[in-house]
Amino acid sequence: MKDSPMRTDQTTEIAPGTVRLNWPLFLTALFAPPILTLVCALAQALVGDSAAPYVAIYGSGLGGLVSGVLLGRFVGKSTAWRIIYGILFSAAFAVACFGLSFGGCALGDYKPASFH
């Protein structure tokens, strides 16, 4: 048997159909709504009116959707499973993102206009 020399130019190839997870986009989509909610709640003291509830509700839905779809594409092995995982993960991440956004409101000491 002949020894083959080691190749130093080997690259890691991804099999066709395999989806890589875009970590920066995933983490940005997951944590941007809570951070923006915190910023809006803190800005309420300067401006007087706040968009924090709107950012929390709509941003959490959008952030959960993007995070869930990205993770569903990564975990699922076939198209059907990617769709199923995408729906399930989207719902779970939307709830988690809303909880984090609620924490951002609480940390930013948000007070609704009727309680001033």
- Please compute the mean of the pLDDT values over residues 97-108 and round it to a whole number: 88
Quick: pLDDT tens for 17-75.
Answer: 678 899 999 999 999 999 999 888 888 877 777 788 888 999 999 999 999 999 999 99
Predicted structure pTM score: 0.76
In this predicted structure, what is the pLDDT of residue 8?
Answer: 58
Model confidence band, residue 13 (pLDDT cutoffs 50, 70, 90): low
How confident is residue 112, by pLDDT bands cut at 50, 70 and 90? Answer: confident
For residue 2, give every residue at least 6 positions away whose Cβ sits within 8 Å of its Cβ, in sequence order, or none.
Answer: none
Spatial contact of 74 and 19, defined as CB atoms under 8 Å apart: yes
User: Distances from the Cα of 22 to the Cαs of 27, 50, 73, 90, 106, in angstroms?
Assistant: 9, 32, 11, 16, 30
Burial class (CB in 10 A: 0-12, 13-18, 19+), 116: exposed
CA diameter of the chain: 84
Question: What's at 85, amino acid-wise?
Answer: Y
